[in-house]
Amino acid sequence: MPDVKEGWGVYKLKDGSSQILTVLELAMSKDQISTLDDGLKQGNAYYVGVACKDTKNCDFSKATPAMALTLPSEYYEFLDEQFIQ
């Protein structure tokens, strides 16, 4: 994604089929977009993310990169404070 000060985005949050995960689809562009598919066009960005609804059934803690391998800004930039431990 190019370094821009303003941009457009479209997102969709939905429950996973097993109701264990929440799935985020996110499309971003420096130009105006109105659908998730627009994020797949040249020069735009499309991301998919997942989060566990409850750690009793799902836990990504083993998949979290070690802090020594990432810069703090890379690790925390897009996380809500509730997810930072």
Alpha helices in 1-85 (DSSP H): 72-76
Alpha helices (H) along 3-71: none
Regarding pTM above 0.95, the answer is no
pLDDT of residue 85: 46
Residue 40, phi-psi category: left (phi > 0), alpha (psi -120 to 50), beta (remainder): alpha
Contacts of 13 (CB under 8 A, 6+ apart): 22, 23, 24
Distance CA 67, CA 73 (A): 11
Q: Which two tokens stand for residue 30?
A: 């420096």
pLDDT tens for the chain, 85 residues long, are 456 578 899 999 999 878 888 999 999 999 999 999 999 999 999 999 888 888 888 888 777 666 666 665 555 555 555 554 4
Instruction: Output the pLDDT for position 2.
Output: 52
